[in-house]
Amino acid sequence: MNNIYMGIDVGGTNIKFGKFNANGDILNKWEITTRIVNNGEFILPDICDQIFTHIDYGDKLKGVGIGVPGPVTKSGVVLGCVNLGWPIYNIEENLSNLLGGIKVKACNDATVAALGECYKGAGINCTDMVLVTLGTGVGSGIIVDGKLMLGYNGAAGEIGHMPVKCDETEYCTCGKKGCLEQVASATGLVREAQRIMKSTDISTTLRSINSFSAKDILDLAKLDDKVAMDVIELTMGYLGIALASVACVINPKQILIGGGLSKAGTFLLNIIEEQFKQYVFKPCGDIEFKLATLGNDAGIFGAAALIINS
Amino acid sequence: MNNIYMGIDVGGTNIKFGKFNANGDILNKWEITTRIVNNGEFILPDICDQIFTHIDYGDKLKGVGIGVPGPVTKSGVVLGCVNLGWPIYNIEENLSNLLGGIKVKACNDATVAALGECYKGAGINCTDMVLVTLGTGVGSGIIVDGKLMLGYNGAAGEIGHMPVKCDETEYCTCGKKGCLEQVASATGLVREAQRIMKSTDISTTLRSINSFSAKDILDLAKLDDKVAMDVIELTMGYLGIALASVACVINPKQILIGGGLSKAGTFLLNIIEEQFKQYVFKPCGDIEFKLATLGNDAGIFGAAALIINS
């Protein structure tokens, strides 16, 4: 029999699956659409269907790791995944029961992605690291001393809601003002660009693009468009402040940058590192900045690591 | 034979000692003056003298725990304790050699104090907590999942140098501007009071005190002196911002407030909690605020716990 493990990454749009051997080598990967109707009640049955369909003759399923978009307590209770419509319930117990008692380990998706990068990506062999995800939102997963940092309620690493911009006038989705996510996410970049464009006459190619995106801003900044560059320096300045605070609190060895915005590559990475250096306390500032390398697969690798190492 | 442990807290002025049994009950405590001359070369020999003097007939010394004012790596290397004049060296090995091979565990003093509060103080049985020390400086010690969070270079918990005040014009001792310690320490309170007094004509008893202290400000705030109260709200507002960030990063269950300023008691504690609530991300905001209870003994209790639990 071949011992196999499933690594699963549940998102609001898709559910990604990876089938792994005991060494964490990926044997197969695929994805399905997330059915969020009826408070997400089809999600676990759909996952079980997929698992059973992909177990081959000679496979012995030893366990399932799963990352979900919301806080998960140490005992496996999801504390409300708003995107999926889920109530508060014990996902480890429920999924295990549906799978006839197979062991299940669940965790927040950002933390699982960090574990994935430590396991098979840019953070390999690093025991103290933070994976920062810059996309529609801003999140992070934290590894301390080789272990996932979950937090008392499973809400550790929620850096998107660190208060960094004291003069922000608009509200964040969380109900506060001045959160990191309001400035350093893809939507944050676009909003700050619109603000800067309103406040100045400086010419910028952004004015000629109908509803430009964060990618447009990054592409133009690389071409020395002044307004685009100002937007990146302003927004990554706030990220630098937030990461300087993270460094004071947990003193990691590495900070990895992932998520959609990180496709801008070393151009963006270097700006983030420069901004960070301006604000960080020196004894906590000796940090390697790297780009994450697993992209959208970080979650399934991390979910596999979660169960294989459990 | 009685198994005993020594818990030692090395400060820039005094070295505190506690003699403990294996249950962590304190049998005796005392202190000596820290001899910082000659780059602190007498400190370890002085410590050994004290230990040998206080071992009684029938005692068997099983180990020594020690907290020092600076970062200590996981392997026991102090990375420069500026206050003591110490170079970079392995304190665990050196002290153990001087003691004929007795086991020694060393750690940063703020972290050791947090461990002390968890072991026998206000944080008893709490596995996820932060002890914030508000005194001449601002520091913290962090316990995650029942373990000390040391950080990659032993510099975790350095919250005094989180950047929180973007419009600060003066430099912090660390060389940056806008650190938490510049506003929320005893000296920070005095400076902010002087600034507010210069910018307003409002009458305050502070004007009648020749070189007032942080304690004077806190005492007057309790008596409804408006300027004193404004100072406390302003400075604790910055502390609230910093602790809201700490909560997003590590999601603790408890935040304990200790250090000299905490003698202002629940009056100050309530203001800190109110300010924190204004800034924290709700899923990370379910935190108990408590006053630390061990005072200056937190260090020796924590140092004892460090070695007894090792």
Q: Tokens 């319930």 map to which residue?
A: A89
Q: How many CB atoms lie within 10 A of CB A170?
A: 9
CB–CB of A162 and B286 under 8 A? no
Closest among A74, A189, A71, A143 to A292, alpha carbons compared? A143
pLDDT the model gives residue A79:
84
**CB atoms A283 and B79 under 8 Å:** yes
SS3 B19: strand
User: Model confidence over A190-217: pLDDT tens digits?
Assistant: 999 999 999 999 999 999 999 999 999 9
Q: How far apart are the first and last CA of chain B?
A: 21
Using an 8 Å CB-CB cutoff, list chain A residues near B283. 71, 79, 153, 155, 158
Q: Which of A152, A156, A241 sits opposite B249 (nearest CB)?
A: A156
Place of tokens 């939507």: A187
- The conformation of residue A224, written as its DSSP 8-state character, comes to T
Residue of chain A minimizing CA distance to B237: A166
Q: Residues with Cβ < 8 Å from B46, sequence gap 6 or more?
A: B15, B32, B35
Query: What's this model's pTM, rounded to 2 decimal places?
Result: 0.92
User: Quick check: A81 pLDDT over 80?
Assistant: no
Q: What is the amino acid identity at position B15?
A: I
pLDDT value at residue B81: 77
Give chain A's length.
310
Across the interface, do B249 and A161 touch by the CB < 8 Å criterion? Answer: no
Average pLDDT across chain A, whole number: 95
Cα B135-B141-B143 angle, rounded to 5 deg: 150
Closest to B174 (Cβ–Cβ): which among A153, A175, A281? A281
Option in B150, B246, B281 nearest A161 (CB): B281
Q: Report, in this order, helix, strand and coil percent for chain A, each rounded to 5.
A: 45, 25, 35
Instruction: Tell me the β-bridge partners of A66.
Output: A8, A106
The 10 Å Cβ neighbour count of residue B209 is 12
Q: What's the confidence (pLDDT) of residue A2?
A: 93
Of residues A166, A241, A250, nearest to B249 (C-beta): A250
Q: Residues of chain B whose pLDDT is less than 70? A: none
Residue A80 reports pLDDT greater than 80 = no
**What pLDDT shows up at residue B195?**
96
Q: What percent of chain A has pLDDT over 90?
A: 88
Rounded Cα distance between B231 and B197, Å, is: 10
> Which residue blocks in A224-297 are alpha helix, DSSP H?
226-250, 266-279
Per residue in A116-127, pLDDT (tens digit) is 999 999 999 899
The pLDDT value given to residue B105: 97
Q: Which of B73, B245, B277 to mutate to test the interface with A (most CBs of A within 10 A)?
A: B245
Phi, psi of A29 (to 5 degrees): -145, 150
pLDDT, tens only, A159-171: 999 999 999 999 9
The contact set of A with B (CB < 8 A) is: 71, 79, 127-128, 142, 144-145, 147, 149-159, 161-163, 166, 174-176, 179, 241-242, 244-246, 248-253, 279, 281-284, 286
**What region, left, alpha or beta, does residue B155 occupy, with left being phi > 0 and alpha being psi -120 to 50 degrees?**
alpha
Q: In angstroms, rounded to a whole number, what is the distance separating the alpha carbons of residues B98 and B89?
A: 14
- Residues of chain B whose beta carbon is less than 8 angstroms from a beta carbon of chain A are 71, 74, 79, 127-128, 142, 144-145, 147, 149-159, 161-163, 166, 174-176, 179, 241-242, 244-246, 248-253, 279, 281-284, 286
| Residue whose C-alpha is closest to residue B27's, from B52, B3, B10, B62 | B3
**So what's the pLDDT on residue A74?**
87
Q: What's the pLDDT band for A226 if we cut at 50, 70, 90?
A: very high
- Do residue B284 and residue A179 have CB atoms under 8 angstroms apart? no
Q: Which of B147, B151, B249 sits opposite A159 (nearest CB)?
A: B249
Per-residue pLDDT, averaged over A170-183, amounts to 94
Among chain B residues, CA nearest to A247: B156
Nearest partner of B284 among A249, A257, A256, judged by Cα:
A249
Name the residue in chain B with its Cα closest to that of A250.
B156
Q: Which residue of A has its CA nearest to B158?
A: A248
Distance in angstroms (rounded) separating the CA atoms of residues B110 and B104: 18
Which residue carries 């310690």 as its tokens? B181
Report chain A residues whose CB lies below 8 A from the CB of B156: 249-251
**What was the pLDDT predicted at A14?**
92
Distance from CA of A244 to the nearest CA of B (A): 7
Which ranges in B206-297 belong to alpha helices (H)? 214-222, 226-250, 266-279
At residue A206, the pLDDT reads 96
| pLDDT over threshold 80, residue A77 | yes
Q: Which residues of chain B lie closer than 8 angstroms to A244, CB-CB?
A: 162-163
User: Is a pLDDT exceeding 80 seen at residue A178?
Assistant: yes
Report which of B115, B122, B157, B113 is spatially closest to residue B250, judged by C-alpha positions. B157
CA dihedral over A136, A139, A141, A144, signed as positive or negative: positive
Degrees (nearest 5) of the Cα angle B170, B176, B178?
Answer: 60
Rounded mean pLDDT, A218-241: 98
Nearest to A71 among B158, B249, B283 (CB): B283
Contacts of B153 in chain A (CB under 8 A): 251, 283-284, 286
